[in-house]
């Protein structure tokens, strides 16, 4: 049978009342050909997530309706293999609620690490990817694939492990970078985004919002920077890990800053193909003057809006080339460049090679 996860919000019941509601589900589930496996409860957030095998969403809902009347605000179908990968193993079940292996209550949070890697002259970053994959595994992370995206994406149960992993990847890649420069070889470049979230929302699939946030943070991070979401900052119990120092730059975002970045990217990503989309257009759409936008964006991500817009276009072009989404002229148009020669010039400035060479290096 299909596997589903439902989402309850604004829950005011006690822990014991939730367990009793789950037991009530078990009493009537067979009648509806449903099996309620387990659930995750987060008392502070007032959220509950139930894992269910059922013929369809209506059957899931019918069990809750008959047993206690507390209906979910969202029910999504989940792929069993992806679910196991993202939620992990080693849990304990006590009458339904999930606990970590150490006995603590599993609140459902998972931490998402996104790593973007590229060589200065367009070569495939094989060794750097291997290093990052090894570190994700070493810190008890699990690698997932996300649509056509070619970032490395790791999932961690624990925020401390996620942050430690990000910092270790950064430090070892910086060593590789210095070695390459000393040997006059093209250095590796990277950016890292770290986010966290709960399994589903009213409008998203399994961990969709958390993964998308990590990817967006990776996009706007400076080169060789770790950009950390407000929730990871809140969940990380070893605060000293997040402290900045010369060798290990970690940028922490507030909830307000995070919201601004998401709105900024929402507007720009929807208009990248429009060559008439400029910073004046962006400032108008986001509701602030051009000087205000310049100051805010520069203070937040270390570069002005014009540089960010060009970078977003180049990174999308790089992704489209890897996906073989068209010839170079078509991809140039897709990211807002009518002039293929100027597009190639901008691409070379960003990645150290022209688009055709990059495509040749990434045939496989």
Q: Return the pLDDT at 91.
A: 67
Encode pLDDT of 303-351 as tens digits: 999 999 999 999 899 888 888 888 999 999 999 999 999 999 999 988 8
* Structural domain count, the chain: 3
Residues 226 and 155 in one domain: yes
Measured CA to CA, the distance from residue 142 to residue 336 in angstroms comes to: 36
DSSP string, 148-209: TEEEEEEEES-HHHHHHHHHHHHHHHHHHHHHHHHTTPPPEEEEEEEEEE-S--SS--TTHH
Phi, psi of 62 (to 5 degrees): -65, -35
Measured CA to CA, the distance from residue 321 to residue 147 in angstroms comes to: 16
Is 273 within the bounds of a domain?
A: no
Q: In Å, what is the CA distance from 80 to each residue of 4, 98, 142, 243, 324? A: 9, 17, 15, 38, 30
Burial of 226 (0-12, 13-18, 19+ CB in 10 A): buried
Residues 245 and 302 in one domain: no
Residues 245 and 114 in one domain: yes
66-75, 89-98, 187-196: least confidently modelled range: 89-98
Which residue in this structure is represented by tokens 């257009």? 281
Residues 86 and 115 in one domain: no
Measured CA to CA, the distance from residue 41 to residue 61 in angstroms comes to: 18
Residues 322 and 357 in one domain: yes
Is 262 within the bounds of a domain?
A: no
Domain that holds residue 342: 279-361
Encode pLDDT of 26-80 as tens digits: 999 999 999 999 999 999 899 999 999 999 999 999 999 999 999 999 999 999 9
Evaluate if residue 247 carries a pLDDT over 50: no
Measured CA to CA, the distance from residue 86 to residue 154 in angstroms comes to: 9
Global pTM value = 0.92
Residues 224 and 143 in one domain: yes
Residues 19 and 150 in one domain: no
Q: Cα 260–216–320 angle (5° rounding)?
A: 135
- Bridge partners, 39 (sequence order): 50, 97
| Gyration radius (Cα) of the chain, Å | 23
Encode pLDDT of 159-173 as tens digits: 999 999 999 999 999
Taking alpha carbons only, the member of 104, 111, 76, 109 closest to residue 90 is 104
Mean pLDDT estimate for the chain? 91
* Residues 6 or more apart in contact with residue 152 via CB below 8 angstroms: 113, 114, 115, 117, 129, 132, 133, 136, 143
Residues 117 and 247 in one domain: yes
Residues 139 and 234 in one domain: yes
Of the residues 45, 70, 99, the one at which a domain ends: 99
The answer for 108, left when phi > 0, alpha when psi is -120 to 50, beta otherwise, is left
Portion of the chain with pLDDT greater than 90, in percent: 72
């Amino acid at each position: 049978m299909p596997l589903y996860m439902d989402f309850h919000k604004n829950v005011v019941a006690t822990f014991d009342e939730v367990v009793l509601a789950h037991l009530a589900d078990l009493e009537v589930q067979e009648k509806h050909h449903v099996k309620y496996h387990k659930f995750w409860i987060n008392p502070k957030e007032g959220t509950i997530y139930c894992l269910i095998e059922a013929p369809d969403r209506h059957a899931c809902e019918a069990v809750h309706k008959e047993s206690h009347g507390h209906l979910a605000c969202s029910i999504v179908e989940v792929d069993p293999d992806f679910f196991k990968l993202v939620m992990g193993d080693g849990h304990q079940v006590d009458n339904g609620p999930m606990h970590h292996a150490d006995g603590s209550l599993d609140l459902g949070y998972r931490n998402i690490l996104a790593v973007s890697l590229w060589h200065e002259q367009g070569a495939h970053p094989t060794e750097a990817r291997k290093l990052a994959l090894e570190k994700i595994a070493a810190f008890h992370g699990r690698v997932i694939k996300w649509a056509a995206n070619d970032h490395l994406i790791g999932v961690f149960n624990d925020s401390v492990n996620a942050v430690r992993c990000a910092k270790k990847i950064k430090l070892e890649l910086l060593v590789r970078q210095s070695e390459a420069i000393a040997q006059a070889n093209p250095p590796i470049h990277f950016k890292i985004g770290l986010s966290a979230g709960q399994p589903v929302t009213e409008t998203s699939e399994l961990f969709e919002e958390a993964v998308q946030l990590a990817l967006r943070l990776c996009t706007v991070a400076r080169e060789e920077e770790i950009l950390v979401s407000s929730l990871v900052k809140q969940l990380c119990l070893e605060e000293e890990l997040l402290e900045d120092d010369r060798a290990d730059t970690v940028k922490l975002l507030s909830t307000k800053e995070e919201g601004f970045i998401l709105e900024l990217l929402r507007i720009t990503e929807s208009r990248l193909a429009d060559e008439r989309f400029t910073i004046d257009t962006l400032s108008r759409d986001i509701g602030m003057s051009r000087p205000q936008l310049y100051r805010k964006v520069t203070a937040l991500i270390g570069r002005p809006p014009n540089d960010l817009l060009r970078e977003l276009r180049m990174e999308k072009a790089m992704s489209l080339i890897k996906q073989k989404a068209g010839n170079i002229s078509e991809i140039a148009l897709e990211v807002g460049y009518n002039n293929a020669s100027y597009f190639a010039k901008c691409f070379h400035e960003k990645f150290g090679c022209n688009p055709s060479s990059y495509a040749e290096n990434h045939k496989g």
